[in-house]
Structure 1
Amino acid sequence: MLGLPRYYSPMTQVILVGIVCFLCPGMFNALNGMGGGGQVDRTTGNNANTALYTAFIVFGIVGGSIVNLFGVRWTIAVSGLSYALYSGSYIYLNHTGNGAFTIAAGGILGVGAGILWAAQGMIMVSYPREDEKGKYIAIFWIIFNLGGVIGGILPFAINFHSDTDSLSDSVYIAFVVLECLGAAMGLTLAPPAKVVRDDGSSVVLVKYTSAGKEAAEIVKLFLNPMMLALIPMCFTSNFFYSYQFGPVNASIFNLRTRGFNNIFYWGAQMVGAYALSFLLDNQRMTRRKRGLIAFAIVAVFFNVIWGGTLKQQLKYTHGPLPGGEPTDYPGGLIDFLQHGRAAGPIILYTLYGVGDALYQNFAYWLIGSLTNDNQKLSRYSGFYKGIQSLGSVVAWQLDAKSVSYLDQMIGNWVLLGISLVPMLYVVVTLKDHSEDALPASAVKGGSDDVYGEPGSKARSATQLSGSDKAQRYEI
């Protein structure tokens, strides 16, 4: 009979951070997936997302250094509260019609999200062994996207018999409660210095940092050839959310069906992540071969679904407008009970979720393949989310400025094609083992072992000076 994993095991920590993201970013994704934060007028939601991702650009890039300096527990816990603030701001919007607070809350959320995702990325890709990274990414992705599924059920159930076009206060209150719980869950995480893999190796390889060092390392990110090559991938990785949630979900489906769609969208992410993990961790193939096959799957899948999207997009030009004008989609808004009309668009929307999981899980695996150093990976993850947020700023403003749906759709497809070329370059340069990886035999002894910079000789805690011991990565 299988027992529960140890508290200080990487698996437990990845599950815990998955639960945090299930309750915080997962709920945000469900709300965002409704289009315009669940409001009939998407202007405030789009502008709030612009503020969010503008702040996210900066705090995504510096978020890894903030986590390295202050630790994972309190940074994640405090950051989680920014999600609750954002969801709660829509209650104010419902009653006043004033979007200023929601837009400001979006900016605050951008600060919190940048830090939270840097910590999450570090935990997810640095804690497991090299041969387990695909599995750990998938486990996190499944738990995280369960939040989107539950978050889709809430508006679907609460608004099932409602004829309104905007979400009710009760839906937003439910999101706030769950997100506060997620923030509290951040305090259950263990300090990285205490996390020990099943083979006895410590997850912490580098333990010395300062504000000056972190500032220098942030600058180096923009001089790193691999990071520069991955910029198009990072920029594109969330760009499609604006189009999928607005011009598609909010424009051709009625309110309850938007929630219904999100159940399948985020559920499909769980399936896609799980399926890809078997390939990414297949030790019968070299890492480069696994990367090439995964790359081919991502490239073909995305081109197919964008081809299907083009066929659908040519049928309409706009969704419901604030003045009361209905969508020009043939037959009006789709309800999930209209099986003949609903089946094709809902299946396509579900496939968007599969594609998102394939792209982002592959992206994280690529980043995790560059190093096993947890401090570097916190910075790499923050860099990924920061550049990703730059793309999101552009995407949300395209919809906010009423750029035609067809142009938004073509822009998404073109950006995907551009991102594939440098992504392929990174894949073909992959090595079977990261250069800074330490063999298991060198890291026995758990969290009492302390290591210097990558490549240096492992030293036990008893061999360090008192000042060195004080600098251990006890966060």
Structure 2
Amino acid sequence: MATEEHHPVTWFRSTLWAALLGSVTALTCPGIFGALNGMGAGGGASPDITNAANAIVFGTLAARSPFTESLINRITPKWALCIGTLGYVPYAAGLYCNDRFGTNWLLLFGAVCIGVSACFLWVASGAILLGYSEEHRKGRASLQSLGASIGGIVSLALNIEKSWRGSVSTPTYIALMIIMCLGFPFAALLPTAKRIQRTDGRPVQLAQQASFLKEFRVLKNMLKRPAILALMPLWLYGQWFLSYQWQFNFAYFTVRARALNSTLFYLVGLFSALLMGQILDFERFSRRMRARIGFFLVLFFVGASWILGQVVQVHHSKTTPTLDWSSDGFGLGAFLFILWGFSDPFVTTFMFWLGGTLTRNLNETSFLAAVINFVGSLGSTFGFVVSAMDVEYDWACVINVILFFVSVPFTAWVVFAKVTDSSHGKSLAGLEGDKSSSASVFETPAVLPVVSIVPGEKGNVK
């Protein structure tokens, strides 16, 4: 068997260096965003304005998701990644000012900024990891969840004595904002596509750009497909749960316990996303078999987490505890929160992978990712609106239970009736061979995942 020729590369222009910069940027910005919100109420003492701000964040994401890919096609991934880092610090500063001084305007302004910038960051980082890299390096784990865990560790270390309810300390906000500020210089170090050197000798080529009208036609035709419509309940659920889970951590735990829970939540999530990715990549099984294994794993772990969650929520609604790690009853509540952290990435990894099995047409893949992100962001928006309306926790939990189990039969239909062992030549919108309608930054599938999962036949985790 012929071996691929290896070409020498300069380290600071290598695909590995580019992927590292993209991943570290994800660590410093969305990773720390996750750390702040994973503690509930953005680390503060009151969730009211934070829920409204997060509704704005994800609402802005939803509004921009279908159109960001086309813009990034025109400004290149490097500058899109730089733009993507700019909204996080104003948001974190707004959380701090709101908690300490009662100032609302900066938090709401920061929410809009992060909603706009996050769209650029996710499409750009996905394009870098998929479009720059050689085939054997695509689709590996990013550092976003690790960044959230690091943020949780920082929060825990700076609030280790806070065995009561309240907000995190001022140094916590300052330390996390400093980490967020590092995102822009890391992004600015990224080589441009023309300067990237690949070990296989192939250049990174930008695809020919289509008109907005043609790209809109791709999106319109895609949304007519029954399989796409059938997966929308799962995509809607796929980010709705964030608001309730973060609220649960805020409502029933002390400051230091919230920081510990958040750290473990993202650590186990990193492991479970990698695990699901490896299962969906296990090519000794047919793709149909992998789809069914993934479906039953999601059904078991996510279903069990919400059944247990409903039981625990009913109990906590009656007793309204404030749990510290030295308290009786802490173990069950913490286990539930960590179980959510483990099972949530099962859903997000599987839903992107499953969507990717429906087409191998490169003109459609980036739009499919954008649609998934759009529907998921709508779910997050509605979830935070529910939290901002002070809906009782019992009912907020019930909504999540209903959303998940309603999505199960529709997802099962796609898994058992629509997934085939090969999608070569399949097109959701009838665009085989239409190179003029390419929507990808590179001649490879692009992604737009807030959840940091790469769509496509492979189930790897970005």
Tell whether the structures are fold-level matches, with TM greater than 0.5: yes
Which of 348, 360, 368 is the matching residue for 1:380? 368
Maintained 8 Å contact 1:61/1:379: yes
User: Any idea what the Cα deviations from partners look like across 1:219-243, whole Å, max 9, x if unmatched?
Assistant: 4443344433322122111111111
Maintained 8 Å contact 2:21/2:186: yes
Q: What's the CA shift for 1:208? A: 2.8
Which of 13, 19, 23 is the matching residue for 1:18? 23
Which of 334, 343, 361 is the matching residue for 2:323? 334
Equivalent residue, structure 2, for 1:355: 343
- Closer, same or farther in 2 for the Cα pair 1:127/1:363, shift >3 Å? farther
- Closer, same or farther in 2 for the Cα pair 1:304/1:8, shift >3 Å? farther
Equivalent residue, structure 1, for 2:398: 410
Maintained 8 Å contact 1:294/1:362: yes
What one-letter code is carried by the residue in structure 1 that aligns with 2:77? V
Within a 5 Å distance, the mapping from 1:57-456 to structure 2 comes to 57-123=62-128, 136-137=139-140, 139-140=141-142, 143-162=143-162, 165-191=166-192, 206-246=207-247, 248-317=248-317, 328-329=319-320, 332-338=321-327, 340-372=328-360, 376-428=364-416, 429-435=418-424, 455=433
- Closer, same or farther in 2 for the Cα pair 1:260/1:189, shift >3 Å? same
- Closer, same or farther in 2 for the Cα pair 1:436/1:7, shift >3 Å? farther
Maintained 8 Å contact 1:93/1:102: yes
Maintained 8 Å contact 1:206/1:373: no
Q: What's the CA shift for 1:192? A: 5.5
Give the alignment's TM-score, normalised by structure 1. 0.80
Equivalent residue, structure 1, for 2:453: none
What one-letter code is carried by the residue in structure 2 that aligns with 1:175? L
Q: For the residues of structure 1 that align with 2:410 and 2:230, how far apart are their CA atoms?
A: 5
The two structures, once aligned, show a CA RMSD in angstroms of 3.3
- Closer, same or farther in 2 for the Cα pair 1:354/1:86, shift >3 Å? same
Maintained 8 Å contact 1:6/1:12: yes
Q: For the residues of structure 2 that align with 1:5 and 1:344, how far apart are their CA atoms?
A: 52
What one-letter code is carried by the residue in structure 2 that aligns with 1:167? V
Q: For the residues of structure 2 that align with 1:284 and 1:232, how far apart are their CA atoms?
A: 30
Q: What's the CA shift for 1:385? A: 1.6
Maintained 8 Å contact 2:149/2:267: yes
Q: What's the CA shift for 1:418? A: 1.9
Which of 45, 52, 59 is the matching residue for 1:47? 52
User: Any idea what the Cα deviations from partners look like across 1:19-46, whole Å, max 9, x if unmatched?
Assistant: 2211111110111111111122111100
Q: Which ranges of structure 2 fall in alignment gaps of 5 or more residues?
A: 1-7, 436-440, 444-462
SS at match of 2:326: coil
Q: Which ranges of structure 1 fall in alignment gaps of 5 or more residues?
A: 319-327, 438-452, 458-470
Maintained 8 Å contact 1:204/1:373: no
What one-letter code is carried by the residue in structure 1 that aligns with 2:168? L
Aligned length: 427
Q: What's the CA shift for 1:109? A: 1.2
Maintained 8 Å contact 1:279/1:290: yes
Maintained 8 Å contact 1:288/1:427: yes
User: Any idea what the Cα deviations from partners look like across 1:174-193, whole Å, max 9, x if unmatched?
Assistant: 22221221233223445567
Q: Equivalent pairs: percent with the same residue?
A: 27
Equivalent residue, structure 2, for 1:467: none
SS at match of 2:274: helix
Q: For the residues of structure 2 that align with 1:164 and 1:308, how far apart are their CA atoms?
A: 24
Equivalent residue, structure 2, for 1:440: none
